[in-house]
Structure 1
Amino acid sequence: MSIKSTIISIAAVSGGGKTTITKKLSLVLEDTKELFFDDYDFKKAPDDIVQWVDQGADYNLWNLEPLVSEIEKIKSSREVPTYILLDYPFSYRNDNMKKYIDLSIYIDTPLDVAMARRILRDHTKSNINDVRNEVKFYLQYGRVAYLEMKNSIKPNSDIVIDGTLPPDKIVELIIKEIRDRGL
């Protein structure tokens, strides 16, 4: 008898809570393996995210082979986990990844909240000019990438959860969905 992992992807804009929710969810669900998008080096990926969005945001331009290989390795291992949790921003939009995902969750975090979280996370030791430059870049260029997520990934997900809720409440809602769906 073959054991199959349920693969759950967690998407959000940068600063939207993907990593926090993935980690907290792994503490509540039994028998999990977490994979984090930012841990992989995707050599065949767009170099300039803003340009990629301006040119139509083709998610299939991302060669996600390192992540796909890791999923395949886990699925064929001796001890297959019940759940594989993906901190993964693209939901079902990449054709090579979508066949692996059983449930896609989008954490809908307002852009101002996500930006504030990024500043708090990424600039603990930065000077004010570094913070100012980050905000300036976001306003001039980066915001389009955030809006791409809202416009493309959010409607492509199975579940959308309010990203302003406390993390424990978000996890509680995800667990309820998992149970309601028999996953």
Structure 2
Amino acid sequence: MEKGKYPMVIAISAVSGGGKTTITSQLHAKLQKAKALYFDDYDFEGPDDIIKWIDSGGNPDEWKLLPLIRDLDILRNEPLDYILLDYPFAYKHSKISEFIDFTVFIDVPLDIAIVRRITRDFKNSSVKEILADMNNYVLRGRRGYLNMLQTIKPNSDIVVDGTLPILELVNIITRNVER
């Protein structure tokens, strides 16, 4: 990193189950002088009812992201080349967008994303719990996934095919970042 130059901040976005954490972790392992921050590691103050929030416009600025902003600000002053964000909003949150240099949207078919999410989150759950979650997805949750496709995907610098092998995705993102 050149003296006085901030690290490049790369935000990785996708629907739940889209591969944000996996790709961020793999990029972190590949890129030299990089740190990663993961949205799910924080306990943010945000909307109580996500679907109600989406139905009323889904403004990302309604999320209070001060701990993430603080950590980003600290990392920007470290001798890094990259800061990777596993982060759902791309450039849509006004306070975080000031930090972001490049956004990636991992485009995963919704059926694959929901299967990944169920597999990840319901390993020790009963069939009844899994079916209840699937029913909730059909009745309510799918709107959240569709909203991301309409708002975050077109707001990203690149869109990558989330059905590709992980290594291939990491290589595509790395090539685009290095340009």
TM-score, normalised via structure 1 length: 0.94
Pairing 1:54–2:55 present:
yes
Letter in 2 for 1:49: I
Q: How far off its partner does 1:3 sit?
A: 3.4
Q: How far off its partner does 1:80 sit?
A: 2.4
**CA distance, structure 1, for counterparts of residue 161 and residue 111 of structure 2:** 14
Q: How far off its partner does 1:29 sit?
A: 0.6
What's 2:15 paired with? 13
CA contact (8 A) 1:36 1:87 kept: yes
Q: How many residues align?
A: 177
Pairing 1:133–2:132 present:
yes
Q: How far off its partner does 1:138 sit?
A: 0.2
CA contact (8 A) 1:3 1:80 kept: no
Structure-to-structure mapping, 1:8-157, within 5 angstroms = 8-43=10-45, 45-76=46-77, 79-157=78-156
CA contact (8 A) 1:10 1:87 kept: yes
Gaps of 5+ in 2: none
Gaps of 5+ in 1: none
Letter in 2 for 1:31: K
**CA distance, structure 1, for counterparts of residue 61 and residue 173 of structure 2:** 27
**CA distance, structure 2, for counterparts of residue 86 and residue 98 of structure 1:** 12
Letter in 2 for 1:69: R
What root-mean-square deviation, in Å, do the aligned CA atoms of Structure 1 and Structure 2 show? 0.9
TM-score, normalised via structure 2 length: 0.96
Please list every run of at least 4 consecutive aligned residues from structure 1 whose deviation after the TM superposition is greater than 6 angstroms.
Answer: none
Letter in 2 for 1:10: I
Q: How far off its partner does 1:130 sit?
A: 0.9
Q: How far off its partner does 1:93 sit?
A: 0.4
